[in-house]
Amino acid sequence: MSNGYRVAVVGATGQVGTLMLELLRERGFPASEIVAFASERSVGRTLEDEDGLVVQGLSDESIRGFDLALFSAGGATSGEWAPRFVDAGAIVIDNSSRWRMNEEVPLVVSEVNPDALAHHGGIIANPNCSTMQMVVALKPLHDEAGIDRLVISTYQAVSGTGKRAVDELLDQSHALLHERQIAPPDQYAHQIAFNALPQAGTFAVGEDHTDEERKLMNETRKILADPAMRISATCVRVPVLTGHSEAVNVQTRVPLSPERARELLLAAPGVSVLDDPQAALYPLAIHAAGSDEVFVGRIRRDPGNEHALDLWIVADNLRKGAATNAVQLAELLHERGLVRPRQEASPA
Ligand SMILES: NC(=O)c1ccc[n+]([C@@H]2O[C@H](COP(=O)([O-])OP(=O)(O)OC[C@H]3O[C@@H](n4cnc5c(N)ncnc54)[C@H](OP(=O)(O)O)[C@@H]3O)[C@@H](O)[C@H]2O)c1
Measured between alpha carbons, how far is 3 from 30 in angstroms, rounded to an integer? Answer: 8
Give the H or E element holding residue 287.
helix 285-288
Phi, psi angle pair for 136, to nearest 5°: -60, -40
Of residues 345 and 221, more confidence is placed in 221
CA of 83 to the centre of ligand 1 (A): 18
What is the mean pLDDT of the segment spanning 8-25? 97
Query: Quick one: pLDDT at residue 345?
Result: 42
Tell me 337's DSSP state.
T
Percentage of the chain lying above the pLDDT 90 cut: 95
Q: Which of 70, 95, 245 should be mutated for ligand 1, with most atoms under 8 A from CB?
A: 95
Residue nearest (by alpha carbon) to ligand 1 atom 10: 72
Ligand 1 close to Cβ of residue 73 (< 6 A): yes
Query: Quick one: pLDDT at residue 341?
Result: 59
Q: Are 176 and 257 in contact (CB under 8 A)?
A: no
What is the mean pLDDT of the segment spanning 67-82? 98
Ligand 1 close to Cβ of residue 56 (< 6 A): no
Q: What is the pLDDT of residues 170-220, one digit of tens each?
A: 999 999 999 999 999 999 999 999 999 999 999 999 999 999 999 999 999
Query: Which of the four pLDDT bands, split at 50, 70 and 90, describes residue 13?
Result: very high
Burial class (CB in 10 A: 0-12, 13-18, 19+), 194: exposed
C-alpha pair distances (Å), 268 with each of 37, 47, 52, 321: 35, 37, 39, 17
CA of 16 to the centre of ligand 1 (A): 7
Could you give the residue numbers annotated as active site?
129, 244
Query: Quick one: pLDDT at residue 347?
Result: 44
CA of 75 to the centre of ligand 1 (A): 9
CA of 73 to the centre of ligand 1 (A): 4
Ligand 1 close to Cβ of residue 14 (< 6 A): yes
Residue nearest (by alpha carbon) to ligand 1 atom 40: 39
Measured between alpha carbons, how far is 194 from 228 in angstroms, rounded to an integer? Answer: 38
> Is the confidence at residue 15, as pLDDT, over 60?
yes
Ligand 1 close to Cβ of residue 322 (< 6 A): yes
Percentage of the chain lying above the pLDDT 70 cut: 97
pTM of this structure: 0.95
> Is the confidence at residue 348, as pLDDT, over 70?
no
- E-assigned strand segments in 55-182: 68-71, 91-94, 123-125, 147-156
Q: What is the pLDDT of residues 145-163, one digit of tens each?
A: 999 999 999 999 999 999 9
Q: Count of H helices and E strands in the chain?
A: 8, 13
